[in-house]
Amino acid sequence: MICDSKTDAIRARQSAVRVDLRAVCASSLECAPHPSAPFVNVNCPAVLRLDTTLPAEGEPLSWFGTLGIRSFCGRQREEKDVIPGAFTYHRPSSVAEAVAILVSHGDEARPLSGGHSLIPMMKLRMAAPEHLVDLGGIADLKGITDDGSTITIRAMTTQHELIASDLLAQKLPIIRETALLIADPQIRYVGTLGGNVANGDPGNDMPALMQCLDAAYVLTGPDGERDVPARDFYEAAYFTALAPEEILTAVKIPVPPAGHGYAYEKLKRKVGDYATAAAAVVLTLDGGTVTFCSIALTNVSDTPLYAKEAGEILTGSTLDTATVARAVAAAEAITEPASDGRGPAEYRTKMAGVMLQKALSRAATRAAS
């Protein structure tokens, strides 16, 4: 593979397609520049063999295909499939056309939104769709609208657009707060709300937030549209109520009362990382007493967790220390985190409780009594 002493990222650009690949230089090979790779500043004896031209509709897309490693020191060339295999690329211009493609190919097809969850899974061969349906050309899947009581966000609206929305900043500011904690600006320019909530990744931030906000997902398939509450959508890691021939086309969110308090607290190892644990809180106060409280947790189970009991414990309270402790204990009791690089399960459970305490404190400060 290709790298130099200063960077391990290769960026190849040709036509409309951009490919970012991470590579590690084989230290056992003698380095020498090679002129046949004009798009890469190469100082090692290997060349990336990529066809990055966007194919015609329906033709196989090969630019994710093979890394060709070729020695210029007399060593034998090696090839290794380290990224997704061949697939057919589709770019429909309407939801109806996209659904028709999914119906035609069944389980062999997958919709593509921002791609930040699906493409890594394809690189690891955890997902191997034979047909990829790019939703980026469907204008009807973009935009944010308000009918007074409900805000509707179309599925291909990016995280950056959520952050920049004056409407959301006024009526649902917790969405902006959460989006700012997702990955980094480059990811947020491309990553979409629909993609974040649809694929069932328990580490994604928006699913728990949508449960906290009591959002509903609009699923569109061959039989029309149906609404599924976010609290009922997630079944297990990467398993959801979305049928193979359906597309998540929009998210409907009831507008909380004016003056509500909110907070999304996220513990992570570094900027841009998945949460070790995170908590979303929306509440209202009347004279210092909680009149409504909704809580959800991120990445401490194989699905996002709506902490119904914890919210009920706090409703009617003044957020006194004893009641908050009871609510935190109730929230911790429903967690089932994995022990992984973010810490042992017991630690992550306790951090979920800490994040909840911090979120409650900030939400209460922001709420207008």
Q: Is the pLDDT of residue 306 over 70?
A: yes
Q: Is the dihedral of CA 270, 271, 273, 276 positive or negative?
A: positive
Q: What is the dihedral of CA 178, 179, 185, 190, to 10 degrees?
A: 150
At 125 the pLDDT is: 86
352 vs 298: CA distance, rounded Å: 8
Which residue in this structure is represented by tokens 């090679």?
A: 34
Judge whether 175 and 209 are in contact, CB under 8 Å. Answer: yes
44 vs 305: CA distance, rounded Å: 48
At 128 the pLDDT is: 92
6, two tokens: 């200063």
Share of the chain above pLDDT 70, in %: 78
| Tens digits of residue pLDDT in 49-105 | 333 344 455 554 443 333 333 333 334 434 445 578 899 999 999 999 999 999 999
| Tens digits of residue pLDDT in 109-145 | 999 999 988 888 898 888 899 999 999 999 999 999 9
The answer to pTM > 0.85 is no
Average pLDDT (177-194) is 96
At 272 the pLDDT is: 87
Task: Give backbone dihedrals phi and psi of 122, rounded to 5 degrees, phi first.
Answer: -70, -35
Across the chain, what does the average pLDDT equal? 83
* Residue 9: other Cβ atoms inside 10 A: 10
267 vs 348: CA distance, rounded Å: 10
178 or 126: which leads in pLDDT:
178
pLDDT band at 369 (very low <50, low <70, confident <90, very high): low
183 vs 176: CA distance, rounded Å: 13
CA distances for 1 relative to 12, 42, 70, 78, angstroms: 14, 10, 9, 10
| Tens digits of residue pLDDT in 267-291 | 999 988 999 999 999 999 999 999 9
Full set of structural domains in the chain with CATH:
9-134 (3.30.43.10), 146-254 (3.30.465.10), 261-366 (3.30.390.50)
**Of the listed ranges 111-125, 167-181, 223-237, 293-307, the one predicted with least confidence:** 111-125
Paired residues of 262 in beta bridges: 282
